[in-house]
Structure 1
Amino acid sequence: MNRLAGSQSPYLQQHAANPVDWWPWGEEAIAEAKRRDVPLLISVGYSSCHWCHVMAHESFEHEGVAALVNELTVPVKVDREERPDVDAVYMTATQAMTGQGGWPMTVFATPDGEPFYCGTYFPRDAFERLVRAVSDAWRGQREAVLEQSAKVVEAIRQIAAKPQANPMHEGVLDAAAQSLVKSYDKEHGGFGGAPKFPPHMNLLFLLRHYQRTRDDEVLDIVRYTCERMARGGMYDQLAGGFARYAVDGTWTVPHFEKMLYDNALLLRVYVQLHRIAGGGTARRVAGEVADFLRRDLHDGHGFISALDADTDGVEGLTYAWTRAQIDEVLGEIDGAWARYLLEVTADGTFEHGASVLQLPEDPLNLERWLDIRQRLLAARDARPQPGRDGKIVAAWNGLAITALVEFGQVYGDPQAVQLAIDTARYLADVHIVDGRLRRVSRDGVVGTPAGVLEDYGAVAEAFCAVHQATGEGEWLALAGRLLDVALERFADPAGGFFDTADDAEQLVSRPADVTDNATPSGLSAIAAALVTYSALTADVTRREAAERALATVAMVAATHGRFTGYACSVGEALLSGPYEIAIATDDRNDPLVAAAWWHAPPGAVVVAGPPDAPGVPLLEARIQRDNLPTAYVCRNFVCDTPVTALEDLVAGLG
């Protein structure tokens, strides 16, 4: 019997027809393991994960392996995107035992859920041997297994212990920036070596750091990294959008899955880079990523999670090109030009003589390039397409909403702003149930997993962004209620926050990771929302809560900036003020509004609307001087003289 068919999770549904007798995570699986007195096999992954597919094809679809697993364990399948709390606990155990982590994650645990053997991908023969060895140990060396599980659980709890609190002051942020400078890859951009992930949160931090320090080295790092990422194979040169990461150190060959969270965060990076430093590539990529989000990831309700790495079980089948395929679409003359432009070589840059398209430099004949790009894209669209993970994740949609508001406000794109508003409405109407946030939905139906801290933080920050875009008090009130829940249910009396609520399912350890990973940590996300909300409302208690949260990560940030980028970007906002910019006007398209968004200092909030607009604290008692649109620039709740001239506003934000 397989119990996954009714799941909302695309990842679990991918395994519904396996001969492995999968159970979803929950008390029933644990009770079954206790009843049978066998270990739990906890397999964690996500729908667009290439190596998850490989292990599934090799092992979980194999009748012999399945029979062995069913006989000797209670197998449990977990979607890490749906249950990040479960993933966090067992990933901590895996990293503690092996020194590394990743997906698929393979964990053997006692019937109580305490892990005693952890790993990631195993080839079929090795996996079969491992299942037998674990079963033999459970039956014949029970005491040693339980001793091992106790050590692992204690290690998890020790790792989860928060570091000593220290204010995130200017010196911490300067040290964090320098730690990034030291790990910078001067030849190819980015930080560290292969595999190379897009360092979006670090780049956001460095852009804000540059605004404070005017350190040209820092800006050069961001500019060069963004240029190299956008010109390599990790960026889709035909349709826009970034893949999850590059398998090499040169941004050439990606793992082809495209994740919502990466593209939302990178959209913010390229918008801010263009706003601060100019550059045609940054502006082009920002527009293309925004188009990718609207066209390929929005399902009419919200933004889906991902496009798969594989097509029909083959990685990169949709995206890679041979020289012959290029010529077949374009003909000999245009084909030769395109192959040179896009670095499609005879040997190929990927597999089997195929290449991943790159764009090392802008073509001199832009009109010809756009025509060729469209023809290649049309041909590619006729190929089999990668699978789609239609799951809508609250936190990731929050990131996308904030990014689209920034894009739309900076570039005057009302359609982008409207899409952000519509998506926020969906989250408010569907994902908030009885005052609490649910993590996932699909096809307009909300799921059962409870929201974790990153959901509350990212969605509250998004609601604050929509409040700024619309001047409507409802969104600020919604953000405030989510923050109330976070402070009541997630806050740690000793400082900082836990990733799960105090009334959530009790796991072997209550996760509380202070470091950013693929997305902002829950702590970083909630701190960002608290700072933004406090700037919009003059709520000092919310600001103080953010400062206490950041204090728990400051010691890590000072030496390991790569793992605290979003938290450090919030720290830069606090050092900046952040600025509170209110524009009293009946015309939300007034040039003062556009200038405020374009010249905004780190973390600044911008609200425009008529004086004393209901539910908009920043517009209280903001009169229009001489009946002209009037800008009020404040910092730490102290305001400069109101101005009506555009040049005076820009000077006040410099």
Structure 2
Amino acid sequence: MNCLLVGLALLLYLTTAEVGGVGAEGRDGAHAAADVSATYPPELQRRLAAALAAKGPDYRPRTEHLLPDGRPRYTNRLILEDSPYLIQHAHNPVNWYAWGPEAFERARRENKPVFLSIGYSTCHWCHVMARESFENGPIAELLNAHFVAIKVDREVRPDIDQVYMTAVQLLTGSGGWPMSSILTPQGETIVAGTYFPPDDFSALLHRVNTLWQEQPEQMRTRAAEIARVVAEALAAEAQAAELEDRIVDQAAASLLEQHDEMQGGFGDAPKFPQQPRLALLLDQALRRDDQAALTAAVFTLRSMARGGIQDQVGGGFHRYAIDNDWLVPHFEKMLYDQAQLARLYLAGWRLTGDPELARVARRTLDFVLRDLTSPAGGFYSATDAESEGEEGLFFLWTPDELRSVLPPEDAELAIALYAVTESGNFEGRNILHLPIAPEPFAAARGLTPAELRQRLDAINQRLYRHREGRPHPHRDEKILTAWNGMMIAALAEAAEALDEPRYLSAAERAAELLWTEQRPAPGRINRVYLDGRTAQPGLLEDYAFLGQAMIALYDATGEPRWLTRAREMADALWERFADRGEGGLFMGEAAEETPLMARPKDFTDGVMPSATSAALQLLAELIRRTDKLDYERHATSLLASTSGLIARAPSAFPSLLTALILMRHGDTGPLQYAARGAVRADARISAPNSPCEDGSASLVVDLSMRPGWHVNAHRPLQDELTATTLRMRGDHAHWRMVAPAYPTPEILRLGFQREPLAVHQGRVRIETTLEENPQQRANAGEDPSAWLSFELRLQACNDAICLAPETLVLQVPMPAR
């Protein structure tokens, strides 16, 4: 703590001390900087010129410094990079470097501090600081003369971001982007913050330069102390703790205490969706029939769907809301949000049967396929908050605009439904939202919910076509392996749940692109794909989420190639990222040539599940689907390395807890595996009519067994063998199950059994009828269950052994009524 206080004192000293030498010129962004690119070696100048020419005639440099013919006045090394964020800064007058040994070697050789700027291409305040400071001639000259300037895309290198963001949070008590840090040539933080206005930034640079010249050893000493605290903060305590299942109940109870019962979500504004928390609550609702968890999670999903955080016209979700009501979003749209929220809305729909939740999931996925999909099939990273220099302008409406686009009757309906006013709710214009839920609004207008939805879909289509004519926000077109893995999994899951084959086709196409273009060698995955080029060695999250995507495709198709690829990712991540000494997994591979204050691990969920939890989930899924015992050993080791952290603050690790329960109790839903993947059970309920006029439905359970494996028949020939049986589980008062029809068994003689056996092998089907309780059906105040639960008891054997009997819990959604 001593060094932290010293760091804080230094920060205050640097940012508040009287600074000389900055006059009006320092605030004049129009002042032209010296063109440092003219001093580059001839070979580098040729490379930069060639890279600029390769951008083609449609390339628009993001800079105010242009020559009369429209070409950029300055071009720096960032033009060579495969990151849209770095390329945005390729024409600043700042002599930027990408993260790497070249920059740090120069800093050490010239004894200069490093200025490290971290952000991402759709970050609003990153754009602001770029315009105010990095395009500012005098500030650029100050950076070029006295610092080595490095740009990092946090989406490409979250491991670097995690290290230096930890320092920012320790020093200032908060974090965010752009992240602005000044480092020693050894990569240790001297001072750090986020956004600086240009005067403050210029003053800070002057003061650091003065102190670096006058008190270099004192600066290095303090930086070393800060680095030690950062390393301690990033290090996980290896002490293991006993984690019983009830710790998940404790975490869920803690999350419910934090839940906002008025507007949904957790805590006060700004409101982020907090997807890992919602995922844990929905998992609890399904596994434990936890109605409080279900109520809270679904209330939040419905609140977000009605708010401005959902793009009511085009579908998809903005990154977060700045208010408690989910009304005013920060208008970026991130791929990882769409992937996670689509799965959450699917889960909510499966648990409640609410068609509105399924509709939101569809609109979210359709937005991605329409607006975030590359010609090659991969998924782009994000869209910006700004267009035409204004935040949110692309998404805003006035009453007159609606009346000009829509027929009069539809315009008045849209104005009423979306609460559009002349004064607006955001800078004189309107963010479309639903202050009244669609059902009561429809009833007040004499419409059925279905009629309102039909009209609203037509209205939104017209508004979308009109909006397409506006200048669009910038789109970040890099394809990140981890985020694409998340999207592939969401699409594969939705394809089955929503009976949408096009979702599965899109998922398979993206997966093949990654496997073909991002896999330079067996067991190795790259992170970034941009403009037909692959770049940047993959991080733990890339291997883990891509592995999960392959599992999702295996579950959706049954094709073994996807499982083989998932196994390759799991084997590789353990080989590349395992900490052989302290346990756990590092975020990235070791890089000796570039200094980093610590080699971080990722345990705590943020806007995405932690990389550690993603790896644990992948291992847990493989335990159920393969016979390789290493996966269980690795998962147990990984859990032990995090158990001490989890035990102290369970609600801080929702994704790890979700993976823990998956590891111990298997998957939820209608698809389950037994005998370490040798047996697959897939259940579905179908109704002959919609609604079921005769009050009945059909349950089908398909069993698939790998060659050489079988399960005992419903009536085995030996008393000591466990029969295959299917029964309804739990209290489903609306329904009862008629005696199942089991398939006719085969009679086999195997080497380990003298007597003949009655078995099932290959593919077989169990069928039964579900009858609805007419008294419950007559009660208009009660809706039938959205899903039913069944237990399938079986024992799997091959020609050498019989495994222990297993009970699979199949949770099967009811068809829409």
Counterpart secondary structure, 2:152: strand
Partner of residue 320 from structure 1, selected from 368, 393, 396: 396
Aligned to 1:467: 554
Deviation for aligned residue 1:491: 1.4
Gap runs ≥5 in structure 1: 585-589, 597-605, 614-618, 631-639
Q: Is the 8 A contact 1:212 1:576 kept in 2?
A: no
Any idea what SS the aligned residue of 1:197 has? Answer: coil
Letter in 2 for 1:189: G
Which one of the candidate residues 332, 345, 352 is aligned to 2:421?
345
Within the alignment, does 1:129 sit opposite 2:203 as a pair? yes
Q: Relative to 1, partners in 2 of residues 1:517 and 1:620: Cα closer, same or farther, differing over 3 Å?
A: farther
Q: CA deviation at 1:500?
A: 1.5
1:319: how far off?
0.4
> Is 1:546 the counterpart of 2:622 in the alignment?
no
Q: Which amino acid aligns with 2:131?
A: H
Deviation at 1:198, TM superposition (A): 0.9
Q: 1:185 to 1:115 in 2, by over 3 A?
A: same
Contact 1:329–1:376, Cα closer than 8 Å, also in 2: yes
Task: Look up the match of 2:7.
Answer: none
Separation in 2, partners of 1:215, 1:245: 27
C-alpha distance after superposition, 1:164-186 (max 9, x if no partner): 32243212211111111111111
Cα gap change, 1:348/1:93 in structure 2, threshold over 3 Å: closer, same or farther? same
Q: Which amino acid aligns with 1:146?
A: R
Where does residue 53 of structure 1 map in the other structure? Answer: 127
Letter in 1 for 2:504: V
Q: Does 1:479 align with 2:479?
A: no
Alpha carbons 2:377, 2:510 under 8 Å: kept: yes
2: distance between equivalents of 1:185 and 1:309? Answer: 26
Corresponding letter in the other structure for 2:82: Q
CA shift in 2, pair 1:36/1:42, >3 Å: same
Q: Which residue is equivalent to 2:94?
A: 20
The one-letter code sitting in structure 1 at the alignment partner of 2:767 is A
The structural deviation recorded for 1:332 is 5.4
In the other structure, the counterpart of 1:636 is: none
Q: 498-507 or 356-365, which moves further after superposition? A: 498-507
Kept in 1, the 8 Å contact 2:703–2:765? The answer is: no
Q: Is the 8 A contact 1:44 1:79 kept in 2?
A: yes
Query: Quick one: which of 234, 245, 251 aligns to 2:309?
Result: 234
Corresponding letter in the other structure for 1:312: E
* Structure whose residues are more often strand by fraction: 2
Q: In structure 2, what is the equivalent of residue 633 of structure 1?
A: none
CA separation of 1:643 and 1:536: change in aligned 2, threshold 3 A = same
SS at match of 2:419: coil
SS in 1 for 2:267: coil
Contact 2:187 2:595 in 1 (8 A): no
Report if aligned partners of 1:172, 1:554 keep a CA contact under 8 Å in 2: no
Partner Cα distance (1:559, 1:226) in 2: 29
Could you tell me which residue of structure 2 aligns to residue 498 of structure 1? 586
Alignment of 1:263-412 (within 5 A): 263-299=338-374, 300-330=376-406, 333-351=409-427, 353-360=428-435, 361-362=437-438, 364=442, 365-412=452-499
Distance 1:578 1:179 in 2: 24
Q: Percent identity?
A: 39
1:651 to 790, 795, 798: 790
Further displaced range: 527-536 or 66-75: 66-75
Q: 1:488 to 1:187 in 2, by over 3 A?
A: same
Alignment map for 1:216-231 (pairs within 5 Å): 216-231=291-306
Deviation at 1:29, TM superposition (A): 0.7
- 1:611 is displaced (CA, Å) by 4.4
Question: Which residue of structure 2 lines up, in the alignment, with residue 110 of structure 1?
Answer: 184
Query: Aligned pairs, how many?
Result: 624
Cα deviation 1:313-356 (Å, max 9, x = unaligned)? 221110011233223323655433322211222332212x1121
| Structure with the greater alpha carbon radius of gyration | 2
Structure 2 counterpart of 1:104, which letter? P
Give the C-alpha shift of residue 621 in structure 1. 4.0
Counterpart code for 1:75: A
Q: CA deviation at 1:80?
A: 0.7
Deviation at 1:629, TM superposition (A): 11
User: Counterparts of 1:206 and 1:492 in 2: how far apart (Å)?
Assistant: 31
Structure 2 distance, partners of 1:355, 1:140, is 55
Q: Which has the higher contact order (CA 8 A, sep 6+)?
A: 1
Residues 629, 397 of structure 1: alpha-carbon distance in 2 compared, 3 angstrom cutoff: farther
Aligned equivalents of 2:481, 2:233: Cα separation in 1: 27
Deviates more, 1:571-580 or 1:143-152: 571-580
Mean Cα deviation higher: 175-184 or 230-239: 175-184
Q: For residues 121 and 342 of structure 1, what CA distance do their matches in structure 2 show?
A: 35
The answer to whether the Cα contact below 8 Å between 1:583 and 1:608 also exists between their aligned partners in 2 is: no
Structure 1 residue aligned with 2:606, among 492, 503, 517?
Answer: 517
CA distance in 2, matches of 1:126, 1:575: 53
Give the letter aligned to residue 433 of structure 1: P
Aligned counterpart, 1:187: 262
Q: Which shows bigger deviation, 236-245 or 167-176?
A: 167-176
Aligned to 1:634: none
What's the counterpart of residue 5 of structure 2?
Answer: none
How many angstroms does 1:592 deviate by?
Answer: 5.0
Residue 165 of structure 2 is aligned to residue 74 of structure 1: no
The equivalent of 2:721 in structure 1 is none
Of residues 403-412 and 363-372 in structure 1, the stretch that sits farther from structure 2 once superposed is: 363-372
1:583 positional shift:
10
Quote the offset at 1:624 in angstroms: 10
Structure 1 residues 324 and 607, CA gap change in structure 2 (3 angstroms): same
After TM superposition, give the deviation of residue 643 of structure 1 in Å. Answer: 6.2
- Which of 431, 434, 442 is the matching residue for 2:530? 442
Deviations 1:59-97 (A, max 9, x none): 111112211111121111111111111111111111111
Partners of 1:59 and 1:124 within 8 A in 2: yes
- Pick the structure with more helix per residue: 1
- Alignment RMSD: 2.7
TM-score by length of 1: 0.90
Provide structure 2 residue ranges, at least 5 long, that are not aligned to the other structure: 1-36, 38-75, 443-451, 687-699, 715-740, 746-758, 771-787, 792-809, 812-817
Query: Is residue 2:212 matched to residue 1:90?
Result: no
* TM-score, scaled relative to structure 2: 0.73
Q: Which whole-Å deviations, capped at 9, do the CAs of 1:218-241 have from their partners, x for residues lacking one?
A: 110011000001100000001110
Q: Deviations over 1:570-589 (max 9, x none)?
A: 122234234772599xxxxx
Q: Secondary structure at the match of 1:533?
A: helix
Tell me, yes or no, if the aligned pair for 2:78 and 2:98 is still in contact at 8 Å: yes
Q: For 1:157-168, list aligned pairs within 5 A.
A: 157-163=231-237, 164-168=239-243
451-460 vs 318-327, which deviates more? 318-327
User: How far, CA to CA, are the matches of 1:313 and 1:157 in structure 2?
Assistant: 40
The alpha-carbon deviation at position 391 of structure 1 amounts to: 0.5
| Structure 1 CA distance for aligned equivalents of residues 459 and 259 of structure 2 | 35
Q: 1:583 to 1:457 in 2, by over 3 A?
A: closer
1:572 correspondence with 2:694: no
Q: Is the 8 A contact 1:534 1:540 kept in 2?
A: yes
